[in-house]
């Protein structure tokens, strides 16, 4: 299982952008405070290609439209005390009715103008000052900070997360029954990519990170792995990595989960270090890869990058078949 799930708003925004949507920091903040788990569950289904009926993408799109800055700006002239947090419950339940009511409330000639204003007034009525709730948490990061700690090599993790200049590194750990993999979003000679660390288990919740095998994935390989997470191809394998060309990395989708492994032919122990990645856990790893892809091509819209990855790897997979 992974040690983090979309720890930052930037990662969530990247995932949202990959679906063709845009979300402001204010919108993401409201989602974090009011419906974080529901939103991430739907986002996970989309990212891991489990949204076959399109319901999760529709939920996300409707929620983002209702919470968009433009929506708030249209409400404020009518209800100055309205806040974005007041919108969340109705945006989840009846988004179409809510947006239609805003249109009608702005049009005095609309047949349901008065009804629409009354409906919106029921949403944005002043709260009862005698039953104030505790202030909600303000960010996705605060939610993440409360998660249960998982077994990691803290010294190694601190080194990976330590800033180099203004650059902050992000890692996601995945634990298996005999080994663990750590996916690190980092740079090599100034080029974004992913460093995969593979450690053997030495005891209950204990892993030998000091003797981990390291495999660097460049941006082309990052795109190929992302294609697997998106299920645009079944699997991918890279070999001849490392100074002695003896290391490799492979990942494939096996029906109900992903299976990833690092190989090191000349390793003293643990020539194969593999883990199972469940779909729910795959979201964090896949978004780490997605973030690095976007980092490498900052001038290209993310949806165009993903379209290119999909087109090239679907063709490659078809040729292999």
Give the 3-state secondary structure of residue 217: strand
- Structure confidence at residue 131 as a pLDDT band (50, 70, 90): very low
- Across 37-50, average pLDDT: 84
Sheet with 258-264, side-by-side order of all strands: 235-241, 247-253, 258-264, 272-277
Q: Is the pLDDT of residue 271 over 80?
A: yes
Alpha-carbon span 254 to 81, nearest angstrom? 52
**Model pTM score:** 0.60
Give the count of beta carbons closer than 10 Å to the beta carbon of residue 165.
5
Q: Is the pLDDT of residue 55 over 70?
A: yes
- Structure confidence at residue 142 as a pLDDT band (50, 70, 90): very low
- Residue 165 is classified by DSSP as T
Question: Sign of dihedral through CA atoms 29, 35, 36, 42?
Answer: negative
Let me know the angle formed at the C-alpha of 299 by 4 and 30, rounded to the nearest 5 degrees.
Answer: 45
Rg of the Cα atoms in the chain: 23
Strand partners, 275: 260
- Taking only the tens place, the pLDDT of each residue in 156-169 is 434 333 444 444 56
The reported pLDDT for the residue numbered 144 is 40
The candidate with the shortest Cα–Cα distance to 102, out of 84, 126, 76, 127, is 76
Strand partners, 195: 184, 216
| Helix, strand, coil percentages in the chain from 3-state DSSP, rounded to 5 | 45, 20, 30
Q: Is the pLDDT of residue 134 over 60?
A: no
Q: Residue ranges per domain, the chain?
A: 9-130, 151-320
For the chain, the average pLDDT equals: 82
The reported pLDDT for the residue numbered 49 is 75
CATH code for residues 151-320:
2.30.31.10
Give CA separation, 125 vs 32, 81, 192, 291, in Å: 23, 8, 49, 41
- Across 14-20, average pLDDT: 88
């Amino acid at each position: 299982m992974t040690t983090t799930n979309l720890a930052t708003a930037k990662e969530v925004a990247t995932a949202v952008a990959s679906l063709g949507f845009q979300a402001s920091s204010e919108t993401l903040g409201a989602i974090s405070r009011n419906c974080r788990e529901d939103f991430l569950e739907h986002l996970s289904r989309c990212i891991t290609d489990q949204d076959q009926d399109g319901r999760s993408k529709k939920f996300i799109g409707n929620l983002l439209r209702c919470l968009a800055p433009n929506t708030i700006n249209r409400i404020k002239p009518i209800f100055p005390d309205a806040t974005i947090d007041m919108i969340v419950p109705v945006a989840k339940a009846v988004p179409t009715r809510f947006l239609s009511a805003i249109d009608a409330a702005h049009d005095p000639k609309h047949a349901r103008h008065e009804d629409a204003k009354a409906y919106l007034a029921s949403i944005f009525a002043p709260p009862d000052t005698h039953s104030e709730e505790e202030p909600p948490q303000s960010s996705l990061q605060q939610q993440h900070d409360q998660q249960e700690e998982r077994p990691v090599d803290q010294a190694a993790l601190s080194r990976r997360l330590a800033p180099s200049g203004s650059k902050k590194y992000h890692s996601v750990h995945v634990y298996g029954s005999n080994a663990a993999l750590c996916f690190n979003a980092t740079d090599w000679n100034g080029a974004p990519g992913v460093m995969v660390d593979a450690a053997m288990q030495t005891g209950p919740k204990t892993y030998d990170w000091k003797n981990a095998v390291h495999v660097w994935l460049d941006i082309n390989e990052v795109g190929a792995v992302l294609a697997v997470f998106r299920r645009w191809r079944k699997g991918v394998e890279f070999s001849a990595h490392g100074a002695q060309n003896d290391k490799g990395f492979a990942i494939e989708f096996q029906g109900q989960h992903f299976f990833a492994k690092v190989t090191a032919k000349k390793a003293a122990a643990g020539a194969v270090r593999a883990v199972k990645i469940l779909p729910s856990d795959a979201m964090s790893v896949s978004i780490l890869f997605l973030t690095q892809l976007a980092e490498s091509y900052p001038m290209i819209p993310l949806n165009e990058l993903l379209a290119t990855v999909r087109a090239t790897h679907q063709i490659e997979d078809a040729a292999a078949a």
